[in-house]
Protein backbone atom coordinates (compact mmCIF):
# COMPACT_ATOMS: atom_id res chain seq x y z
CA UNK A 1 0.00 0.00 0.00
CA UNK A 2 2.86 2.34 0.85
CA UNK A 3 4.39 1.63 -2.57
CA UNK A 4 1.11 2.58 -4.23
CA UNK A 5 1.00 5.85 -2.32
CA UNK A 6 4.58 6.60 -3.37
CA UNK A 7 3.82 5.74 -7.01
CA UNK A 8 0.76 8.00 -6.97
CA UNK A 9 2.79 10.82 -5.48
CA UNK A 10 5.43 10.41 -8.19
CA UNK A 11 2.73 10.43 -10.88
CA UNK A 12 1.23 13.60 -9.44
CA UNK A 13 4.71 15.11 -9.37
CA UNK A 14 5.26 14.24 -13.03
CA UNK A 15 1.95 15.89 -13.95
CA UNK A 16 2.80 18.96 -11.91
CA UNK A 17 6.27 19.08 -13.47
CA UNK A 18 4.80 18.99 -16.97
CA UNK A 19 2.54 21.89 -16.04
CA UNK A 20 5.51 23.79 -14.65
CA UNK A 21 7.44 23.43 -17.91
CA UNK A 22 4.36 24.60 -19.84
CA UNK A 23 4.07 27.68 -17.60
CA UNK A 24 7.74 28.47 -18.11
CA UNK A 25 7.52 28.15 -21.90
CA UNK A 26 4.48 30.44 -21.95
CA UNK A 27 6.28 33.14 -19.96
CA UNK A 28 9.47 32.89 -22.04
CA UNK A 29 7.42 33.17 -25.24
CA UNK A 30 6.20 36.59 -24.04
CA UNK A 31 9.67 38.08 -23.62
CA UNK A 32 10.10 40.95 -26.04
CA UNK A 33 13.21 42.63 -24.64
CA UNK A 34 16.37 41.73 -22.74
CA UNK A 35 16.43 41.93 -18.93
CA UNK A 36 16.47 45.45 -17.51
CA UNK A 37 15.55 47.67 -14.59
CA UNK A 38 12.36 49.67 -14.21
CA UNK A 39 12.28 53.44 -13.96
CA UNK A 40 10.65 55.19 -11.04
CA UNK A 41 8.00 56.43 -13.46
CA UNK A 42 7.17 52.87 -14.52
CA UNK A 43 6.96 51.79 -10.90
CA UNK A 44 4.80 54.72 -9.80
CA UNK A 45 2.36 54.45 -12.71
CA UNK A 46 1.12 50.93 -11.90
CA UNK A 47 -0.05 48.99 -8.90
CA UNK A 48 2.30 46.28 -7.71
CA UNK A 49 0.12 43.56 -9.20
CA UNK A 50 -0.09 45.38 -12.54
CA UNK A 51 3.70 45.68 -12.58
CA UNK A 52 4.25 41.99 -11.87
CA UNK A 53 1.70 40.87 -14.44
CA UNK A 54 3.24 43.21 -17.02
CA UNK A 55 6.57 41.45 -16.45
CA UNK A 56 4.95 38.06 -17.00
CA UNK A 57 3.25 39.37 -20.15
CA UNK A 58 6.55 40.77 -21.45
CA UNK A 59 5.31 44.36 -21.39
CA UNK A 60 7.96 45.29 -18.82
CA UNK A 61 11.52 43.91 -18.68
CA UNK A 62 12.36 41.10 -16.28
CA UNK A 63 15.02 41.88 -13.64
CA UNK A 64 18.63 41.07 -14.67
CA UNK A 65 19.16 38.82 -11.65
CA UNK A 66 16.57 36.35 -12.93
CA UNK A 67 18.75 35.65 -15.98
CA UNK A 68 21.94 35.41 -13.93
CA UNK A 69 20.43 32.85 -11.52
CA UNK A 70 18.04 30.99 -13.86
CA UNK A 71 14.63 31.79 -12.39
CA UNK A 72 11.53 33.62 -13.53
CA UNK A 73 8.18 34.94 -12.34
CA UNK A 74 5.40 32.61 -13.50
CA UNK A 75 2.33 33.72 -11.52
CA UNK A 76 1.04 36.78 -9.68
CA UNK A 77 -2.23 37.48 -7.92
CA UNK A 78 -3.22 39.75 -5.05
CA UNK A 79 -1.09 38.69 -2.08
CA UNK A 80 0.54 35.68 -3.77
CA UNK A 81 3.32 35.19 -6.33
CA UNK A 82 5.26 32.20 -7.69
CA UNK A 83 8.80 32.11 -9.04
CA UNK A 84 10.26 29.06 -10.79
CA UNK A 85 13.94 28.19 -10.87
CA UNK A 86 16.24 25.62 -12.47
CA UNK A 87 19.01 24.43 -10.10
CA UNK A 88 22.27 24.07 -12.02
CA UNK A 89 25.89 23.12 -11.42
CA UNK A 90 26.93 26.79 -11.65
CA UNK A 91 24.84 27.42 -8.52
CA UNK A 92 26.86 24.89 -6.48
CA UNK A 93 28.94 25.65 -3.42
CA UNK A 94 32.27 23.87 -2.70
CA UNK A 95 30.38 20.95 -1.11
CA UNK A 96 28.69 20.06 -4.39
CA UNK A 97 25.15 21.23 -3.63
CA UNK A 98 23.17 24.35 -4.54
CA UNK A 99 24.38 27.37 -2.57
CA UNK A 100 22.07 28.65 0.15
CA UNK A 101 22.22 32.08 -1.45
CA UNK A 102 20.32 30.70 -4.44
CA UNK A 103 17.57 29.44 -2.10
CA UNK A 104 17.51 32.81 -0.36
CA UNK A 105 17.35 34.79 -3.61
CA UNK A 106 14.31 32.89 -4.90
CA UNK A 107 12.56 33.13 -1.54
CA UNK A 108 13.43 36.82 -1.11
CA UNK A 109 11.98 37.49 -4.56
CA UNK A 110 8.83 35.51 -3.76
CA UNK A 111 8.04 37.08 -0.39
CA UNK A 112 9.05 40.57 -1.52
CA UNK A 113 6.93 40.44 -4.65
CA UNK A 114 4.00 39.04 -2.66
CA UNK A 115 4.18 42.29 -0.70
CA UNK A 116 4.52 44.29 -3.92
CA UNK A 117 1.41 42.59 -5.33
CA UNK A 118 -0.89 44.27 -2.79
CA UNK A 119 0.46 47.81 -3.18
CA UNK A 120 -1.50 50.51 -5.03
CA UNK A 121 0.09 52.88 -7.57
CA UNK A 122 2.47 55.32 -5.96
CA UNK A 123 3.60 52.94 -3.21
CA UNK A 124 6.93 51.14 -2.98
CA UNK A 125 8.53 48.81 -0.46
CA UNK A 126 11.86 47.67 0.87
CA UNK A 127 12.82 44.62 2.91
CA UNK A 128 13.60 45.21 6.58
CA UNK A 129 14.26 41.57 7.44
CA UNK A 130 14.52 38.15 5.78
CA UNK A 131 14.80 34.85 7.64
CA UNK A 132 15.41 31.61 5.76
CA UNK A 133 15.19 28.07 7.16
CA UNK A 134 17.03 25.45 5.09
CA UNK A 135 15.28 22.07 5.28
CA UNK A 136 17.25 19.88 2.84
CA UNK A 137 19.99 20.03 0.23
CA UNK A 138 19.24 20.67 -3.42
CA UNK A 139 21.11 19.56 -6.55
CA UNK A 140 20.80 19.86 -10.32
CA UNK A 141 19.12 16.43 -10.31
CA UNK A 142 15.94 18.30 -9.34
CA UNK A 143 14.89 19.91 -12.65
CA UNK A 144 12.71 22.70 -11.29
CA UNK A 145 11.67 24.22 -7.96
CA UNK A 146 9.12 26.86 -7.12
CA UNK A 147 9.24 29.64 -4.55
CA UNK A 148 5.75 30.68 -3.51
CA UNK A 149 5.29 33.86 -1.50
CA UNK A 150 2.11 34.79 0.38
CA UNK A 151 1.28 37.92 2.38
CA UNK A 152 0.56 37.13 6.03
CA UNK A 153 -0.29 40.58 7.42
CA UNK A 154 -0.70 43.96 5.73
CA UNK A 155 -0.52 47.09 7.83
CA UNK A 156 -0.32 50.68 6.64
CA UNK A 157 3.50 50.77 6.76
CA UNK A 158 4.60 47.24 7.68
CA UNK A 159 3.75 44.10 5.68
CA UNK A 160 4.86 40.55 6.49
CA UNK A 161 4.96 37.57 4.16
CA UNK A 162 6.08 33.96 4.14
CA UNK A 163 7.46 31.70 1.42
CA UNK A 164 8.16 28.06 0.61
CA UNK A 165 10.65 26.53 -1.84
CA UNK A 166 9.43 23.14 -3.10
CA UNK A 167 9.75 20.76 -6.04
CA UNK A 168 7.01 19.31 -8.23
CA UNK A 169 6.51 16.41 -5.81
CA UNK A 170 5.78 18.84 -2.97
CA UNK A 171 9.13 18.20 -1.27
CA UNK A 172 10.12 21.23 0.83
CA UNK A 173 13.70 22.55 0.58
CA UNK A 174 13.44 25.83 2.49
CA UNK A 175 10.96 28.32 3.91
CA UNK A 176 11.23 31.99 4.77
CA UNK A 177 9.59 35.01 6.34
CA UNK A 178 10.06 38.69 5.64
CA UNK A 179 9.11 42.08 7.05
CA UNK A 180 8.81 44.95 4.59
CA UNK A 181 8.43 48.70 4.95
CA UNK A 182 5.91 50.45 2.66
CA UNK A 183 6.61 54.01 1.54
CA UNK A 184 5.48 56.61 -1.00
CA UNK A 185 7.08 56.01 -4.40
CA UNK A 186 8.67 59.08 -5.98
CA UNK A 187 7.49 59.64 -9.55
CA UNK A 188 10.82 61.01 -10.78
CA UNK A 189 14.43 61.39 -9.83
CA UNK A 190 17.20 58.86 -9.21
CA UNK A 191 16.34 55.59 -7.51
CA UNK A 192 17.39 55.20 -3.90
CA UNK A 193 18.34 51.80 -2.50
CA UNK A 194 14.84 51.47 -1.06
CA UNK A 195 13.24 52.45 -4.35
CA UNK A 196 15.34 49.95 -6.28
CA UNK A 197 14.32 47.14 -3.94
CA UNK A 198 10.71 47.60 -4.96
CA UNK A 199 11.48 46.81 -8.60
CA UNK A 200 10.09 43.29 -8.35
CA UNK A 201 13.05 41.86 -6.46
Strands of the chain, DSSP E = 71-77, 80-85, 123-134, 145-154, 158-167, 172-184
pLDDT tens digits, residue range 84-112?
999 999 999 999 999 999 999 999 999 99
48-57 vs 100-116: helix axis angle to the nearest 10?
A: 120
∠ CA 8-14-15, rounded to 5°: 90
pLDDT at residue 15, as a whole number: 80
In the chain, where are the structural domains located? 2-197
The pTM of the full predicted model, rounded to 2 decimals, is 0.86
> Which of 8 and 67 is assigned the larger pLDDT?
67
d(CA 47, CA 122): 7
The CATH number of 2-197 is 3.10.129.10
* Least trusted range by pLDDT, from 3-7, 133-137, 143-147: 3-7
Amino acid sequence: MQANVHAKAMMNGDEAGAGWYADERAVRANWKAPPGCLTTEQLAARSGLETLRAMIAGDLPRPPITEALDFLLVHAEHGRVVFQGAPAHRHYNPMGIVHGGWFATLLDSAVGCAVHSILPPGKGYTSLELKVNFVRALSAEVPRVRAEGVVVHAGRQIVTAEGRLSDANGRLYAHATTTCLVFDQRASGPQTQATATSAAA
